[in-house]
Structure formats: C-alpha cells, structure tokens
Structure 1
Amino acid sequence: MSTIDLNCKEEIIQDINGFLTSEPWYYQRGIPFRRGYLFHGPPGTGKTSFVSAIAASFGLPIFIINARDSRLTDDKLGALFKKVDKRCIIILDDIDGVGRPAGTAVNGRDGISLSGLLTAIDGVSSHEGHVLIMTTNKPDELGHALVRPGRIDKRVQFNNATSKQAMQCFQRIYGNENEESNELAKEFSGKIPDGAFSIADIQGFLIENKNDLAQAVENTDAWDISLIYWL
C-alpha cells in the first residue's frame, strides 16, 4: 500500500503506458527510448510497493540495484544494465548513497561513482527500453546532474499516511463487512494524526494486534506515544 493519492497513481500509470507504446516515435526522432522517475519520501511510505504494482500492471520484470552497496563498482553497474531485459523496470534504491566522499569507504570499497552511474544510465552505449525508478529518502542531497530532465522525467513524492489512509489500512487488514468493524476503523483513524506515521508503521502495529480489533484500537494511544518518542 502506497501513500500517494489515486490521481497521482493514475497519472504515473498512464505516463508509463504512453512511454511503452511509443517506441517508434522515439526512434524516428532520435530520442533515447528511456523514461526516468524519482520516488522520494520517508521510509515505509510505499515507494517499493507502488513499483511492484506498476510492474504487475504491465507484466514487466523488476531489477533492483542498491546504490549503497559498497561491493558494486562502476564496471559491475554497467554490466548489470547491459544484462537486463529490454522491457523492464530498473530500481536504483537509496540513490543518495552514490558517490561517497573521499575517506568514507565501506570495508575498503567506495562503491559506484556518480560518473559511473551517469554513464550506465544514459551513456553512448547505455541500455534502452526500460523504465528507471530512483528512490531516496533525501531528495535534497541529490545533485542536479543526476536528476536533471532527460534522466528524471517525473518526480513523485510519498508522504506519511493520512488519517484516511490509516482507516483504509485498518479495513484492508480487518475487513469492513459489518458496522462494528467500520466504527472501529473510524475510531482508530481518529487517533492517527495526518503525517505522523508511515503506512508501514501502521500496518506493522495492526498486524501485531491482528487477533483483536477492539484491542488494537485500545492500544493505539500507547503505541502513538511510544513511537513518537522513539522517532
């Protein structure tokens, strides 16, 4: 479950569909056949789950590359891009981890460089036909060269859950077959302030209390306070 609204979801789905069905148009105009997105927002807000939904919608395989993996070199990254299916989704996860400053290597390895990443994305012999989705919790730390138009065509912001989304999560887990469960869902959502918690936080709490709807609602006050202090 992701926290972006339905209109935004539909816009992204339509944009990807428009891209995937326009290959001749790109080649006739000499434009590289690629499409890039930046999904940004706090952890647990549904970035990866939305990518999974997109992939299922179009029947595309997903290839996930962790940009923070210190074992990944520029050469390995380039080789990975060349091996993926022509029509696929490539996720560059935690893209803010690219290009570590000198002296901050992990286990003696620096990981991929910014120049190596840019070459893999849109160098002379780079892969075409894919949908590239970069994810980050820290969009302000990304350099302009990485997210300029042509590399990133659209930005999508994911936020912590609203009270309404908390209610929808409650109903998805416990069902909404009767009046009692609907009333409990409303009571639960009334205790969840907009933007206070990620959808992953809320789902995790509800799963822990999966055997008792009323107890889940009753425990919400204590959970709110403990999680806020922990954060």
Structure 2
Amino acid sequence: MELLTAMTSLMAILAFRQTVVQALMQACATLPPDVRVAFNRFMHRILSWFSAYTYFEIMDVDGVNTNELYSDVQLHLSNSPSISATRITRSKNSSSFSFSLADNAKFDDIYNGVSIWWEHRVTQRQSHSFSWRPLPEEKRGFVLWIPKEDTERVLNPYLGYIMEHASEIRRKKRDRLLYTNSKGSMDSRGQPWDSVPFKHPSTFDTLALDPVRKSEIIADLDAFAKGKEFYQNTGRAWKRGYLLHGRPGTGKSSMIAAMANHLCYDVYDLELTEARTNVELRKLLIKTTNKSIIVIEDIDCSLNLSDRAKKPCRVEVKSESPVDKSDDNSNTITLSGLLNFTDGLWSCCGSERIFVFTTNHLEKLDPALLRSGRMDMHILMSFCTFPALKILVRNHLGIENHELFPLLEQNIEDAQMTPADVSEILIKYRLNPPRALEELLEAFKATKERPPLESSVNREENPIEEENEEQERRALDIHKKIEREELLDFGKILS
C-alpha cells in the first residue's frame, strides 16, 4: 500500500513538472526570437548546475562561415558501427551507398572508456535577418554531452580523434590519382604533374606472392601509416623506402598498385629522363602531396647509377635553349641529387610518403642507393612458387584445390616461371579449368626438361645478357605452344 502511494505521488510530481514545462514552452514561443534564444540559454545554464554532464553545441554555420567541425562530427557518427539511427541514400550514377544521420536523433559513443552522448538537432530557422550569404531554411547542429568529471580529460583528445577519423574517411572515399611529371618540369598550365584516375584493381588478396612474405609487407605498411608519433619522437622524417627487384613479369608493378590500394595513397610515377636538373627534381618533390607513393620504375635504366668510381653518375639531357657550358651540372641529374631527393633535407618537406624503386638488375645499382635509411625494405619478386600459384589458380579459375596440385607443386620450383608466364596460360584456358591445369603442368615439365643454353664465354662475362636471353626464350616457348594449340583447335572446328 505504501509503495502504491509513493508511486502515485511520483506520477503526480512528474505530471506537474510536465505541465510546467509545457507552459514555459508556450510562453517562450510568444517571445521575440532574440529573447527566446537568450531565455533558452539561461534555462540550459540553470539545468546544467544540477546535471552530471557538460554539454557543447556544434552548429553547422558559425555566423556566415561553415563550421568544419560539424561536417567532421557528422561524417564520424555516420560511419561509426555503434550508430543505428541513420539514413541510407544513393546518388545518381553511383554504385555506393551514403549514410547520413536522422534528424533529431540521439546517439551514444564511447571514447577511452567514457560514455558520450550526441543529439542531432534540426529546427526551422526563425530569424530572417539580413545576411550577405543566404542561409539554409533549416538550422542544424549537434549537442555533445560529456560527464563533468571527464570533460577536461576527454574533450580535446576526443575532438581531435573525430577530425582525424573524418579526414581518413574522406581520403578513402575520394578517387585516387596517378600522376606523371610533365616534360621540362612544367606543363602549359604551369603544373609539374599531370594526373589521371587511378583504377588499378590489384590488391594484396589478388597478388601472387608467398602469404608469409605478403603478411610481413602488409604489417610493415600498416606500422608506417600509424607511426606518426614514432617518427616524431625519434626525430625522423615520416617516410619509408621500398626496393622491388626481380625479373620482368614477377609482379613489381602489381605490388605497387596493391600498396596504393591498401593505404589509399595517390601514386606519383616519376620519369627521371623528363627532369633535366637536380633543381627540377626538387621542385617535383615539393609539389607532391602527403599520403602518396613516389615511384621510380626501372631505376637502373633511368639513370647511369653504376659505381661512381668508374664513371660520373649523371645523365646528360639535351636542351633546346642555349646553356652556358661552363656550368658542368646545368643540365644534369646526379646521383647525389637523387639521394638528396629521397633521403636528404628536401625529403622531409612533406610527411607520410613512400618511395618505391624497381629494378630488374640489382647488381647494377650504386651501393649508396641500397644502404639503410634510403631503401628500408628490399623485396625480391621471385619466380612463381606453389603458394603464389594457388592464388593465381583461385583468381583465374576459381579453384581452391585440385588433384593435380601435388604434381604442380613437384614441378614448379625447377620450372622457374614467372607469375606473368603462369597467368598467360591460365587466361588462355580459363573457360576450361581442368585443361588449364593440365597445360600448366605440361609447361612446367617442358621448361624443367629444356636443355641449358649453349655454353660460351660470354655467359660468364655477361650474366645480364644470359638472363635476358633466358627470359625471352621462355616467353617465346609459351607463345609458340599457345599458337600451336589455337591452330589445332581451329582445325578441329573446320573438320
């Protein structure tokens, strides 16, 4: 009985409170807009004295300027897994969905173990005062509630986290670009780089590489991308260098594309022969953006970077304009200029950059390019191994396992075929997976049993030429076999 009396009294108090609040709201509605805003702020201040939370307003417009923090909060909350009150939209000619917050909905978030509350308020704008900039009809804003005892400790780090999260989301959603440098360092518009959308489909899931080595590379990339504080604390420029070396067709370009897609970085394909001097090289570096991969492919062919004791390490570039010949370095790119580009003072003019060099002949590079601090990670892109073969078979044929796999594993190591060679056979017979594996096995055996090249003194004196001849002969054998199969198939159709 006493419990029932207490509940009745509580309900009466709540009803009285509701009546008072409604009366105040009706009275407030009759007030002029400026007075009503001041009254609401006064009531919020009074209520905050008795509240366990501190609240902050984040409006979409601050005077006549757009509040960037409002957009950051909206993007952060829309992409948080704990938020459920969202709207899903899709724009015209787009295959992706966009998530936005529902009007006047409340959300909860957790940061460092602290429960945080949000409210997305959307009201009609009442004031029609003069403004140089037309204001939207709706007044939008967020209200943030943080426990009072945690406000000083959480507020600034939490807002910083929101801005970083929103920036990361924007970067991942935007289209990535592939840049190349213009001849003479500047194009007709005065820009040193031309760009096109970067749509390369290669990812680490599709890359034909040993899974263990692949995991090491992914872990190294992730550690670099999250290492801002580490590089600041150690006084190092936030950059990293990768040297990809191996025979043609081993997947060096696909590796670069997989790295760019994994990190969502832009790619700058630097053509050294188009830059005439060290000064132009530095200008190109200055005009690159953060969170990018700067690539110099086939660096052994781009410049003369052999042993500096044998010959000067610079490339001569013809100029259409008269140049004072007394200046020996007026039209050259030197090895020291390239080293300063990647590891000198000019390399720290930006942050979160990755330098990638590729070469088919590691032995041709100057040791100065290979030392620690310039190329932090050397990645050998080798012949196709059995783990890499399984990835290629899965990608091309959709097969995870097959009875021919043991035989393929026995013959692949001695066959020494590149992933490009294997892919060519799989693409040819992709509509008939069993035959594709049979043809692949035959190609392994044929390559394995092929007699070595005729011995000659030139092979020992020039191992690079021997390697090129071996690669060309392997590719020719595969092409001849495919052409022979095509002719047989065509003959069967005619008969």
What TM-score do the two structures reach when normalised by structure 2? 0.40
- What amino acid maps onto 1:199 in structure 2? P
Distance 1:117 1:188 in 2: 44
> Alignment partner of 1:15: what SS?
helix
Offset, 1:112: 3.9
Bigger-Rg structure (1/2):
2
Contact kept in structure 2, 1:162 and 1:195, CA below 8 Å: no
Distance 2:332 2:434 in 1: 49
> Alignment partner of 2:247: what SS?
coil
Distance 1:14 1:216 in 2: 34
- What amino acid maps onto 1:122 in structure 2? D
Distance 1:5 1:217 in 2: 20
**Aligned residue number for residue 412 of structure 2:** 192
Higher relative contact order (CA 8 A, sep 6+): 1
Where do residues 35-184 of structure 1 align in structure 2 (5 Å cutoff)? 35-67=240-272, 70-74=273-277, 75-100=279-304, 112-126=333-347, 127-129=349-351, 130-176=353-399, 182-184=402-404
Offset, 1:187: 5.2
Contact kept in structure 2, 1:167 and 1:186, CA below 8 Å: no
May I ask how many residue pairs the two structures share in their alignment? 225
Offset, 1:218: 4.3
> Alignment partner of 2:258: what SS?
helix
Q: Deviations over 1:22-45 (max 9, x none)?
A: 223323443222211111111111
- What amino acid maps onto 1:118 in structure 2? L
What TM-score do the two structures reach when normalised by structure 1? 0.80
Quickly say closer, same or farther: Cα 1:14–1:188, change in 2 above 3 A: closer
Quickly say closer, same or farther: Cα 1:223–1:112, change in 2 above 3 A: farther
Offset, 1:12: 2.2
More strand by share: 2
Offset, 1:5: 2.3
Offset, 1:164: 4.0
> Alignment partner of 1:134: what SS?
strand
- Counterpart of 1:31 (choices 236, 241, 249) is 236
Distance 2:382 2:405 in 1: 21
> Alignment partner of 2:372: what SS?
coil
Distance 1:87 1:140 in 2: 31
Distance 1:164 1:150 in 2: 31
> Alignment partner of 1:55: what SS?
helix
Contact kept in structure 1, 2:265 and 2:291, CA below 8 Å: yes
- What amino acid maps onto 2:392 in structure 1? C
Q: Deviations over 1:87-127 (max 9, x none)?
A: 1111221122243267x979958974312211211232334
Contact kept in structure 1, 2:276 and 2:317, CA below 8 Å: no
Q: Deviations over 1:17-76 (max 9, x none)?
A: 222222233234432222111111111112222222222222111222245xx3332344
Quickly say closer, same or farther: Cα 1:157–1:198, change in 2 above 3 A: same
Distance 2:357 2:367 in 1: 14
Distance 1:114 1:11 in 2: 30
**Aligned residue number for residue 436 of structure 2:** 216
Quickly say closer, same or farther: Cα 1:219–1:23, change in 2 above 3 A: closer
Quickly say closer, same or farther: Cα 1:85–1:194, change in 2 above 3 A: farther
Quickly say closer, same or farther: Cα 1:108–1:28, change in 2 above 3 A: same
Distance 1:121 1:154 in 2: 14
The alignment status of 1:206 with 2:426, answered yes or no, reads yes
Indicate the RMSD between aligned Cα atoms, in angstroms: 3.2
Offset, 1:207: 0.8
Contact kept in structure 1, 2:260 and 2:293, CA below 8 Å: yes
Offset, 1:173: 0.8
Structure 1: gaps (5+ residues): none
Quickly say closer, same or farther: Cα 1:168–1:15, change in 2 above 3 A: closer
Contact kept in structure 1, 2:268 and 2:294, CA below 8 Å: yes
Offset, 1:195: 5.7
> Alignment partner of 2:423: what SS?
helix
Offset, 1:190: 5.2
Offset, 1:197: 0.6
